């Protein structure tokens, strides 16, 4: 009787261990697949061939969420397929050490696509647009400010949005229109200078791409177009980069990548 009791206890212990192992496996499998689907887990695939692998770049990914990070970018058929640690195997590779890479800027100039997909773009008369709407939402259609918003032009002129608004009204035709783009960056952060570098990079790339319906532009992520802008990292301190981005301007171009092809300056 005693031996039978001991045997049953052992069976119960083995069963409990097995149950715990099964639950743990299911939990980790769920977490792994969820993160992989969201693009948070990205691993180099040693058996993959790419059209190009950009190695050791400092990446501003255009999401507005991640700080600059060191990583590789794998490209195939003009699109980004991996970001992180990538093994190039027999694929062509470019060593981008010493360079920072960001998405190509997305300028709200041609709005046909945005309007056709309901991207939330509205036209508004310039003369009645400010201060009714934030200055960072008001994008000019007319030269010499086409593709820039009121806040960026004010930064370039070194004055308040209100003064710039009065100035541009005198320069542009009376019935000039602007595009109204509600970007995901608070006006208060821009005016106070408290926006982070990653947010200001997204201010020129990922944020306008999202609002204008360009769902495959403006970010360095898998399934996005490999349209990239490179500049020399050591030429710019973080504060000077912030000031450039606030003005809607970019660092001096060192190299660019369009449709997955590297092009010299």
If one counts the domains in the chain, the total is 1
Residue 14 forms part of a structural domain:
yes
Residue 157 forms part of a structural domain:
no
pLDDT over 80 at 81, yes or no? yes
Q: List pLDDT tens digits, range 183-240.
A: 878 888 888 889 999 999 999 999 999 988 899 999 999 999 999 999 999 999 999 9
Residue 52 forms part of a structural domain:
no
Instruction: Show the domain range for 1.
Output: 1-41
Please tell me the predicted confidence (pLDDT) of residue 12: 63
Residue 30 forms part of a structural domain:
yes
Q: List pLDDT tens digits, range 83-113.
A: 999 988 889 999 999 999 999 999 887 655 4
Residue 132 forms part of a structural domain:
no
Residue 27 forms part of a structural domain:
yes
Mean pLDDT (the chain, rounded): 85
Please tell me the predicted confidence (pLDDT) of residue 35: 45
For 8-12, 50-54, 76-80, 162-166, which range has the lowest pLDDT when averaged over its residues?
8-12
**Backbone φ, ψ for residue 203 (5° rounding):** -60, -30
Residue 136 forms part of a structural domain:
no
Residue 263 forms part of a structural domain:
no
For 38-42, 49-53, 118-122, 201-205, which range has the lowest pLDDT when averaged over its residues?
38-42
Q: What is the pTM of this model?
A: 0.77
């Amino acid at each position: 009787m005693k031996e039978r009791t001991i045997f049953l206890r052992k069976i119960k212990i083995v069963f409990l261990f097995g149950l715990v192992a099964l639950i743990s496996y299911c939990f980790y499998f769920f977490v792994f697949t969820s993160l992989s689907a969201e693009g948070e887990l990205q691993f180099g695939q040693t058996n993959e061939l790419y059209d190009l692998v950009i190695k050791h770049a400092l990446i501003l990914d255009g999401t507005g969420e991640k700080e600059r990070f060191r990583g590789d970018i794998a490209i195939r058929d003009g699109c980004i397929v991996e970001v992180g640690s990538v093994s190039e195997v027999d694929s062509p590779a470019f060593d981008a050490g010493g360079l920072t890479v960001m998405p190509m800027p997305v300028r709200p100039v041609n709005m046909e696509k945005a309007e056709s997909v309901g991207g939330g773009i509205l036209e508004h008369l310039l003369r009645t647009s400010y201060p009714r709407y934030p200055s960072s939402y008001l994008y000019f259609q007319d030269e010499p400010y086409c593709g820039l918003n009121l806040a960026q032009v004010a930064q370039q002129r070194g004055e308040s949005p209100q003064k710039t608004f009065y100035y541009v009204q005198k320069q542009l035709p009376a019935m000039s229109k602007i595009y109204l783009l509600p970007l995901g960056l608070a006006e208060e952060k821009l005016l106070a200078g408290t926006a982070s570098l990653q947010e200001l990079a997204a201010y020129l790339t990922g944020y306008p791409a999202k609002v204008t319906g360009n769902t495959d532009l403006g970010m360095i992520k898998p399934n996005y177009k490999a349209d990239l802008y490179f500049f020399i990292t050591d030429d710019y301190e973080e504060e000077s980069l912030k000031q450039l981005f606030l003005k809607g301007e970019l660092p001096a171009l060192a190299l660019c990548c369009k449709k997955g092809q590297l092009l010299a300056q």
